[in-house]
Amino acid sequence: MIGSQDGECESVEVPNGEHIDAVIVYHYGGAIRNLQFRLSDDTFITIGTNYLDDYEQVTQEIVNLSHGEEILGVFGKLATRG
């Protein structure tokens, strides 16, 4: 990581023997609201808001990792300070 990070981090680990098949990104209003990681056993790990229905037009984008690509990490800010 370059720079500093303030606030709480959420750490998610993929169980041994599993891998990420896809990342589903839900975004609205210029911000990512939720990330879902679909694992090789068809289970999901979800981070972010659980209230996607509160947003009128949430866009879903799926990034398939069909060639065995590996993700080192994901970093993002959950809220701005004002």
Q: Report the mean per-residue pLDDT for the chain.
A: 76
What's the confidence (pLDDT) of residue 66?
Answer: 76
Q: Is the pLDDT of residue 43 over 90?
A: yes
Tokens of 2: 């370059």
DSSP helix/strand/coil, 54: helix
What's the confidence (pLDDT) of residue 77?
Answer: 61
More confident residue, 66 or 47: 47
| Alpha carbons 80 and 1: distance in angstroms, whole number | 19
Tokens of 34: 């939720």
Q: Is the pLDDT of residue 50 over 60?
A: yes
Q: Is the pLDDT of residue 3 over 80?
A: no
Give the mean model confidence (pLDDT) for residues 36-49.
88
